Structure 1
Amino acid sequence: MIRAGEPRRLGVVASEARLDFGTELQELGGGPRRRLLMVDDEPAFELSFYCGTCPLLFRRLEAAREKLSLESMQERLTGALDDPGDSGVLDAFGALLPEGEYLPLLLSVEPRLVVPGKDGDYFSGEQVATWGIDQFWGLPEYPHTPYYRTFETAVDAVAHLYEFVVPMVPPTWNERHRVEEYATSMEAGTVPTAVAISTLDVCRPAVDLGDDYSAHWGLTHFLLDGHHKLEAAASAGRPVRLLSLLTLDESLAGAQECARLPELRARPRSARTAGSPPAQV
């Protein structure tokens, strides 16, 4: 955590926003409706289900095929950005977002790229330890995208915070020369800034199916600007700043839980060990 701003109203009416949150239309006789992050009115990511007892989820869908950066902000974001309440930056990116209440957070992250099913994958690791595998498919949840893990810490003895940065498109779609340029710049000491719209989903299993019954607080940042920066930081082992615009209206967390984020994000990083709850903080 570098700084936290005050909650503020940002965005435009849903019909004008490129990003929006919604629920898919239910077909006659269909199952429960999915909670979605929409891009240009098309489903881009399936999110954690509304019930709050299903596993945490961000699953890339077919409409997630382009980045949403604003070229006019590139120069400003490349330099130092010290104020998460900077009106110019917030208003510029607010033009992409649906109108609502957002909590600006300026974070320092050291991203680690994770491939689903491979070492460090949350969905086949910590999530399985709590929920077990999907009872229908007999497999862990699958996000259909590489993603970055950046932070985790204890909330209390029975809950843990996990933080993720999710690219709108796979890192393999990035331009190699731009990634290399950022990596070289970072190795020389530059710390660039990326921007994301974020959700906080608090998920707690209804029954104990795994080895580690606990609540998972999922802080998920969907990248608006900074795809090349995040990959470069991961490859170079360097930090990057992340301006997070946390939606208070669309997160599966209450006001008190969202208000705790600045304090939780300022704690030391601590991994969760299945079956061994952390000490009360």
Structure 2
Amino acid sequence: MIKTGDPRRLGVPASEARLNFDTELQELGGGPRRRLLMVDDEPAFELSFYCGTCPLLFRRLETAREKLSLESMQERLTGTLDDPDGGGVIDAFGTLLPEGEYLPLLLELEPRLVIPGREGDYFSGEQVTTWGIDQFWGLPEYPHTPYYRTFETAVDADAHLYEFVVPMVPPTWNERERVEEYVALMEQGTVPTAVAISTLDVCRPAIDRGDDYFVHWGLTHFLLDGHHKLEAAAAAGRTVRLLSLLALGESLSGADHQARLPALRAQPRATRATGSESACD
């Protein structure tokens, strides 16, 4: 954690925003409605279900094909950003977002790229430890996208915070030359800034099917700008800054959870071990 701003109202009417949160309409006799992150009126990601007891989720959908970066901000974000107000960056990206209350957070990350089903995957690791595997499919949840793990820490003896950065499109879609340019800049000491809209979902299993029953706080950052920067930082083992705009009204968490987030994000990084034990890295 570098700095936290005050909650502020941002965004434009939903009909004008390129990014929106929505609920899928339920057909007669259909199953539960999905909570969705929409880009240009197309479903981009399925998010954690509203019940609060289902597992944490961000699942890329077939229509997720667009990034939302602003060319006018590229030069400003290449250098190190030190102010959560962003020198106009927040207001600029607010034109892409639906009107609502947002908490600005300026974070420093050491991203690690994770491939679903492989080492370090939250969905086949920590989540299975708590919820077990999906009872219908007999498999862990699958996000349909590579993503970055960046931070985790204990909330208390029975809860843990996990942080993720989710690209709108897979890193394989990135331009190799731009990734290499950022690697070179980082090796010279530059710490560029990415921008994301974020949610804080607090999920508690209703039934103890796993080996370790506890509450998962999921801080998920969906990248607006910074796809090449995150890949470069992960490849080079460097840090990158992230200006996170936490959508307070669209998160599955209460005001008390959200008020605790800045202090939790400022704690030392720690990993969760089975049996409600945590160990600092």
TM-score of Structure 1 vs Structure 2, range by shorter chain: over 0.9
In 2, Cα distance between equivalents of 1:216 and 1:261? 13
CA shift for structure 1 position 87: 5.5
In 2, Cα distance between equivalents of 1:262 and 1:276? 23
Mapped contact 1:198–1:219 kept (Cα < 8 A): yes
Mapped contact 1:156–1:278 kept (Cα < 8 A): no
Deviations 1:21-51 (CA, angstroms, capped at 9, x unpaired): 0101111110000000000111100000000
Mapped contact 2:113–2:231 kept (Cα < 8 A): yes
In 2, Cα distance between equivalents of 1:62 and 1:200? 24
TM-score normalised over the length of structure 1: 0.98
In 2, Cα distance between equivalents of 1:188 and 1:85? 26
SS of the residue 1:272 aligns to: strand
CA shift for structure 1 position 197: 0.1
Deviations 1:24-80 (CA, angstroms, capped at 9, x unpaired): 111111000000000011110000000000000000001211111000000011112
CA shift for structure 1 position 154: 0.1
Mapped contact 2:194–2:229 kept (Cα < 8 A): yes
Deviations 1:136-158 (CA, angstroms, capped at 9, x unpaired): 00000000000000000000000
- Which residue in 1 is equivalent to 2:190? 190
- Which residue in 2 is equivalent to 1:224? 224
CA RMSD of the aligned region, Å? 0.9
- Which residue in 1 is equivalent to 2:114? 114
- Which residue in 2 is equivalent to 1:275? 275
Letter in 2 for 1:197: I
Task: Name the count of aligned residue pairs.
Answer: 279
CA shift for structure 1 position 187: 1.0
Mapped contact 1:37–1:46 kept (Cα < 8 A): yes
Deviations 1:89-119 (CA, angstroms, capped at 9, x unpaired): 1110000000000000000000000000000
Runs of 4+, deviation exceeding 3 Å? 276-279
In 1, Cα distance between equivalents of 2:276 and 2:260? 23
SS of the residue 2:76 aligns to: helix
Mapped contact 1:158–1:277 kept (Cα < 8 A): no
Letter in 2 for 1:8: R
In 1, Cα distance between equivalents of 2:194 and 2:259? 22
In 1, Cα distance between equivalents of 2:115 and 2:132? 20
CA shift for structure 1 position 85: 1.9
SS of the residue 1:117 aligns to: coil
- Which residue in 1 is equivalent to 2:59? 59
- Which residue in 1 is equivalent to 2:148? 148
> Is 86-95 or 155-164 further displaced after alignment?
86-95
Letter in 1 for 2:114: V
Where in structure 2 are the equivalents of 1:1-281 lying within 5 Å? 1-86=1-86, 88-278=88-278
CA separation of 1:77/1:165 partners in 2, compared to 1, >3 Å: closer, same or farther? same
In 2, Cα distance between equivalents of 1:249 and 1:223? 19
In 1, Cα distance between equivalents of 2:148 and 2:81? 22
Letter in 2 for 1:168: M
In 1, Cα distance between equivalents of 2:87 and 2:239? 24
TM-score normalised over the length of structure 2: 0.98
In 1, Cα distance between equivalents of 2:75 and 2:112? 25
SS of the residue 2:143 aligns to: coil
Percent of counterpart pairs with the same letter? 84
In 1, Cα distance between equivalents of 2:277 and 2:256? 23
In 2, Cα distance between equivalents of 1:137 and 1:232? 35
